Amino acid sequence: MTDSKREIKFSMKAFLAFFLTFMLSLSFLAYQINTLENTNLILSERLTQLEEKQTELQSFLEKNYGVSSLEELEQKLKMRYTGNPFTTELWSGQLQAENITGMHWYTYLSGVLQNRTDVLAYPEQTATFIIRNDTSTNDVYAKNTTSGQIQYGGAWDAGGVDGSNASAVIQAASNALPATGGKIVLKGTFTITSVIDWKTGVWYVGEGEDSTILDATGQSCGIFRVADPTSRTKYGGIANLRLKGDSDQVAINATGLVESTLINLLIENFEYAIFLDGNYGGTSTPAIRNHIENVKIWNCKYGIKLTGVKGSGQANQNNFYNVMITTNVANSIGIDIDIGSSNKFYGGEVAGATTGIRINFYDNWIFGILLENNDNALNLTSSSDTTSNHIDAFFTGNTVDINDDAGANAKNTIIKNGEPYHSQITFAMLTFTSYTSVSADSTVYIGLSGQATVEANAEYVVPFDCVARNMYVIAGSAPGTGESFTYTLRVNGASTDLSVVVSDSSRTNSDNADYITLSAGDRVCIQLVTSASASSTVHSVTIELIK
């Protein structure tokens, strides 16, 4: 091969090498350009998000604080850091100084420490103590939010208070508050073994009925009571809690409570859920001007009890909003206004009670309550004090809607399902008489004109819708020692709860507790059952029909 041919061959190889290098460089440059474009796009999106957050923060600060930046807010509120960074506990969801060495911003308003960290996600709240149940050790501790230190309880029984005793820790924190009170925030579930004395100005605040539970089940105690009814607890509150207990205890004994608040509570399984008494041991301690709102009461014998002594301490001028009472307890009363006036109930419901609402005093107001599936929805007692009440309620599914023993002259106003309701009128007194003697060991049916062994021959047809009540019976002679007569109202061939037994040496008896709803066209009679050796005698039964 000649030298010229070798040179051409070398030149071609050099060119190809250069060309490949050049193309690779172009490809790499294109990749870098594409990467830069993507990076710019991401940065642009992030910048847009940052600007949106900045706008959101600025809007929040302008609306709530009248400033446009955090710097202005800091200057306006004179914020400063306080507390031990290793022990200061903040609110749920925020950065915890117990876990890292961090700083949190606070301010003092009215002498109370307020946490202002992360104000957008976690609005500020105030508290004097935070009480938590440490589930890892089953110890309860109360942390002072000013010092940041655990002051009572905990695993080492701080302050000489047993950390395993939730009641003791809560009470110690309550007792440590000044005379003006303060807020105690409760987190978790607590077993209550002794009732907590509620002092003036103290607020007990949980995180909701599913998150904060005070449980006294099986402990023979209530949850809260006014610390000293004669001095009276004022201006306090109980909020956002679930209270559980026993059927012979009082959840909240508010004897002598004044201008305080119960809000967002679930109370279950007590004898009394909320007990407002205006007289303590003969001393006038009016329970007055309290605010109760959004309270659910389950399976308590008495939901709301208002009582006292007439003219010497009553439960007056208390306002109730949206109280929901549901119970299946025997002899229960949803709302019992025994001794108290100028109390007002707005909205809510009473369901399943023996008596939905009982009113035994004057000048109380009930608006928009639903009374559903109660035995006796509304009972106005025959007391001379049961006057000038105003009831505007909705009734459905009750055995008896209204039992107005106060009568028309009591000047109570009743609006039933949007229509004016007139006091009950006795439409008829039915008297069932056997006329001839009924022998021992017999079952007969007594109608308005005699007895029969076949029920159909003794039945009377009711001509209008009404309620049967107040059964009174009298026999010509007593049944005898160990013997009895049993009288039962029968409706359409079936026995009812309106029934009376006369036994031994008695001749008379009555049932004034039961009510039987009758419809036009129902067939009624009295079934009489005499015991094996009862005397042979005549019988008479009287029943009142009301509308």
C-alpha 207/C-alpha 242 separation (Å) is: 10
Q: What is the band of 66 on the pLDDT scale with cuts at 50, 70, 90?
A: low
Which of 77-81, 103-107, 195-199 has the highest mean predicted lDDT (pLDDT)? 195-199
C-alpha 213/C-alpha 256 separation (Å) is: 25
* 523 falls within a domain: yes
Please tell me whether residues 259 and 381 are part of one structural domain: yes
pLDDT (0 to 100) of residue 134: 84
pLDDT (0 to 100) of residue 7: 55
Please tell me whether residues 471 and 333 are part of one structural domain: no
Please tell me whether residues 234 and 350 are part of one structural domain: yes
* 401 falls within a domain: yes
Report the run of H or E that residue 396 belongs to, with start and end.
Answer: strand 390-396
What tens digit of pLDDT does each residue of 291-326 get?
999 999 999 999 999 999 998 899 999 999 999 999
Please tell me whether residues 455 and 393 are part of one structural domain: no
Please tell me whether residues 401 and 504 are part of one structural domain: no
CATH of residue 246's domain is 2.160.20.10
Domain boundary among the residues 421, 451, 485 is at: 421
Residue 190: pLDDT over 90: yes
Please tell me whether residues 332 and 374 are part of one structural domain: yes
Please tell me whether residues 396 and 503 are part of one structural domain: no
Please tell me whether residues 295 and 406 are part of one structural domain: yes
pLDDT (0 to 100) of residue 117: 41
pTM of the model: 0.61
Range of the domain at 492: 426-546
Q: What is the band of 462 on the pLDDT scale with cuts at 50, 70, 90?
A: very high
The more confident residue out of 227 and 375 is: 375
- How many domains does the chain contain in total? 2
Q: Which residues of 196-231 are buried (b: 16+ CB within 10 A; e: fewer)?
A: bbbbbbbbbbbeebeebbbbbeebebbbbbbbebee
Please tell me whether residues 300 and 367 are part of one structural domain: yes
What tens digit of pLDDT does each residue of 507-542 get?
999 998 888 889 999 999 999 999 999 999 999 999
Domain boundary among the residues 405, 421, 437 is at: 421
Residue 81: pLDDT over 50: no
Q: What is the band of 78 on the pLDDT scale with cuts at 50, 70, 90?
A: very low
C-alpha 60/C-alpha 120 separation (Å) is: 8
Average pLDDT, integer, range 177-188: 93
pLDDT (0 to 100) of residue 124: 42
What does DSSP assign to residue 45? H
pLDDT (0 to 100) of residue 525: 97
Output the average pLDDT for the chain: 84
Percent of the chain with pLDDT over 70: 79
* 130 falls within a domain: no
The more confident residue out of 257 and 107 is: 257
Q: Which long-range contacts (CB under 8 A, 24 or more apart) does 139-145 make?
A: 139/163, 139/164, 140/164, 140/165, 140/166, 140/169, 140/170, 140/190, 141/169, 142/169, 142/170, 142/172, 142/173, 142/184, 143/87, 143/89, 145/89, 145/113
* 325 falls within a domain: yes
* 250 falls within a domain: yes
Least confident among 210-219, 364-373, 399-408: 399-408
Please tell me whether residues 271 and 364 are part of one structural domain: yes
* 15 falls within a domain: no
Domain boundary among the residues 386, 421, 456 is at: 421
* 164 falls within a domain: no
Q: What is the band of 88 on the pLDDT scale with cuts at 50, 70, 90?
A: very low
Residue 220 DSSP SS3: coil
* CA proximity to 430, closest of 461, 406, 453: 461
User: Where do runs of H (alpha helix) occur along 123-213?
Assistant: 166-176
CATH of residue 539's domain is 2.60.120.40
Please tell me whether residues 506 and 519 are part of one structural domain: yes
* 115 falls within a domain: no
Please tell me whether residues 524 and 476 are part of one structural domain: yes
